[in-house]
Structure 1
């Protein structure tokens, strides 16, 4: 009884914050950041005290320990891990598989922030079979963080998509908000700031409708501030940063506070306020050391080095940046941030006239950055191979050309180094000669890259034309109507991609395709293929619009399939008609419409074709993160909406 009254007395003090209380001898727990956010920075201390007073057979005990361990990672990672391991032992002793799974998720979240990425991945994958699907979004969110820290941004985006899928399936607004926040962060890492801002604002809107000021809402505020910095909107950045700091100080979110002060250091530095920038960097370091988070400590030193570089204190900058690398340790998993440290270190060495060290640091930065983004490129190439195996040879050529390009870049660096060593002997002219040489080399490298890219498009065009010719010869020898139709469809698809590369080669713009002219050429080709130019009126009523080749090809294939389908099925008995295509921008999205005034899709149509065209259209639509709408009225109209930022 004495123990019970001491617990009751202790928990009465919690009642003002409605976290844990005792009523009629039962413990009641209002989940933090789920039911309530009406508390202050000392909420963890109160939960900690309750854990040691709560009996081990209490059904709420494991839930409170899990929340305590999870949210303690915002203050001190080692203490957080101790509580989680205590809870795991109790859960296993009680054969509580569900709470073992929940605690494994929390353990993974803490381990990844301690740079134990492999251990974090194992804990999270072990938890998959122990918790219900409806609660799996936090597991997938943290798995995404693990792969992000490993530099596998494609895998990270996959898990963010799984989080979004679960959130939408179970109508969990927190999961949806988290998914959008994580996607925005991944877009930011790739330098797609407009897309990052779009997803970040979506996330913020959902968090604010949810009405709970929690850790992840705080971090999303920080992200939006960072995007505003990169978009050169400093006043808005400061507003978001101040909101993030206010929440971080209220609840003791040391990790978010460190993050935000790092961003403020960069912002002050850009404005030339170097004293304020250094103060912000030191404040970031203070919170990182309180947290005992090596990742945040490493980034804080990087911020201090970056500020010192900007203010001209290159030796001091080198000291900060070398310390950042030491804090990262040899097993540091986040190659993205490590590449940024080496990039700044190269600038510091260059400013201190240590050119040999500057070159070594610059190479290391390029090596790490290539490790991050090459993985994403390989995934895209792999996807392209599954769509058309006959293009495998061209993919190999592109990879070989990329390797040759990297070798040429290394040769340029060696020449630059030799030039710098010579320039040092001419003290009065070294700066002038170095800048002049750099300008010449840069112009030469740009011309080489332009030539190589143009040559690649030319080779791809020629090889696709060869494949088209072979298909034409083969079609002429086929008697089976169904097989002949399949081969003709393949022929038009290959020709569609060939037209894209022909446009790039002829127009001189090696990245952008003008879609109106492309659609007109594609329409003429397909009408000629079906011998329908005299009975079908084709039009592309749309403004001039240029798209990246990575987006133009899948859109071209979609239009190819739909025009071909209209000619095959919409105008039976050689009837006349009209087919139109349009593509335009609307409110940040791409809108594609393909329509005909044929007989429309019948209620009970006879199965025709192989179905591959429909599967291809569906695959390409998902690839562009789009959605399709069908209108079957006085003909057929297919309407597609794609996120424009994904096409950037």
Structure 2
């Protein structure tokens, strides 16, 4: 009687350290070797899923989002970052959470979802401050300053935000962040018309970008365009021409449409200073074809219209200039209305409340001739205001919750569709793997058969034939898994019937009338249990066909597999052959086949018993997976 037990797996510190190192190496390779970085992230993510390492799984979403962001596929990157943020917040993993908020905010800025972007920047900054993530604080402060410079137009707030970030960057020696930080300083001071300070920060930014390697060409171009904008405001056409010459040498290679538009507007400004008004109009028409009604490009659109108007008035085309001015006013209202529609609704609601309060106060003054009426009115007003406020807050919160629920449902639908497609792909790949494993095993079996034909040694032929049968039992499992609908569990009844037909064709050399009786209709096993069980059955059936029916023309083999519990199974194998005498039982169990049976039984955490009476019977109780 043999007992065997299988230990359970757990997440170890060594495994998590290796996974974290893979992610760290992938992060360092993100801008130098994208393909290798992607391979490392996929390996770390798959291993995290295999060992149920929750932080590794969450990091997998974050780093995969970084890969798609690097490829420029922002819509897919956004979904991965959103999922990473949800998991980080749910599980309390804060290492990469500030940067995930930052990257999501940048994508939302690109989509003109400015309020959502601002909210993400603030959330990321709060987490970075609470967790002592100083680099995250600096990077998120730069993005907040960019928001104030481009959307809210609160340039003083942008400078105040940058002041704290600059102190922290210098204190912690984050020199790589100083270039973008000084660039935002330059933009903020240029917007406030402090051009000398703006130029000083632009020069500081250029110096920082030159000191560091990497994709700095884009940043250098942004600094030059800021300087060009300053020279256009100060009418310094000589320096403006020099800036345009530098920008023109690199702007096409950068391939950024928004920077190309800013460059063309500066060209148009230069032509205006030179009195070449016809070319000003041509350049403005070219910019107009590239611009959309996005709020992010509102300033470029505004500058383009002003240049057109100046050029038309300079050419004396008053009628066309007036018509363009009317169109400009109408389009400007529509453009800014789209940005502030949410704020307008909220202001409208506040106005209605204030108006209602004013009406109540007027009624209070009319009834102030008697103290009784005044006090009664005050109580009524307080009650009414309380009820209205409660109702207002209730319905407003209800609308917000409904909107959030709708957004969450949409997100869940997107995630479900992604998971369905991934599951279909994985199922196809798994079927292909089973098919190829089956083909490879059949090739090995065929090679053994070919090799056995080259020898006349019966013992060698028998050994190769037995090895081929064992391989065929495993190949048959992969064949069944490939053919059936389920890829995780195997129908044992069909498998045993096909296995018995194959073995009968191989070992029933005397064409004896050997019949198999299989009863396992309601049993299905996972592949990790089915393969050892198939090898055990191969050994038992081979042994019966070779030795149980000596000097007989017929025989019966009965095989039954049944449930004994949630994870407990029982195999009963018996034949009505000659059996194994007690004197030879110990000797028989020393053979390779019986050692294999006992070893596989231990692998299944099982117990094996042999009895001999009317039937020679093996009873094996073993463990499976639910």
TM (norm. structure 2) is 0.47
RCO (CA 8 Å, sep 6+): is it higher in 1 or 2?
2
Structure with higher Rg: it is 2
TM (norm. structure 1) is 0.46
